[in-house]
Amino acid sequence: IHNLDKMLSEMLNKRTCWMAKSFEGEMAGVIFCEQDVLEKNPSQTPCKADYRDQGWPEDFTEVMLLLDQLCDHQKLMKDKGVDQLLDLFALVISPNFRKQGLASRLIAKAVSEAEKMLMPLISISCTSSFSQRCSIKLGFSREKTIEYNTWNTVWKNAIDPVHPTAVLYFKYLFV
């Protein structure tokens, strides 16, 4: 991602992003999270141009649009009767560190930190079957599913049969 270092640094400073490093200091994985609060007059969902204007790279704007369609935070908070949540919107594990339980540990770390922040609800947008299995294992409940082949015709030929859907999960921490 073009400006990943800058975005990661900003999120780490806000303490809503957690990173795992190897013993040698190499980034092994990261989970990007964003705190959201219920608004009386929610703003319009961003469009592709809005994401480009915010500095998101062109190739990642489609992913952001998918995540927006998958999870309407305002609706989720209203439906679940809460006024704030922590959204785990991206989980990235370096290929050298996969299949070692790191994804589950990063999700668990985010849940633990959300509890310290007294977040009543946590959501996670899973774009791979791997993160979906981790979320289920950690007690999250399914809220919404989008099949890639019906969402965006541009992606039709690039869909990996191992990862056919994006799924939104949620978990109550406090009620």
Buried b (16+ CB within 10 A) or exposed e, 23-43: eeeeebbbbbbbebeeeeeee
Q: Which residue has the higher pLDDT, 90 or 161?
A: 90
Contact by Cβ (8 Å): 89, 70: no
Query: pLDDT digit string (tens) for 118-149?
Result: 999 999 999 889 999 999 999 999 999 998 87
Residue type, 26: E
Query: pLDDT digit string (tens) for 91-100?
Result: 999 999 999 9
| The pLDDT value given to residue 159 | 56
Is the model's pLDDT at 2 over the cut of 80? Answer: no
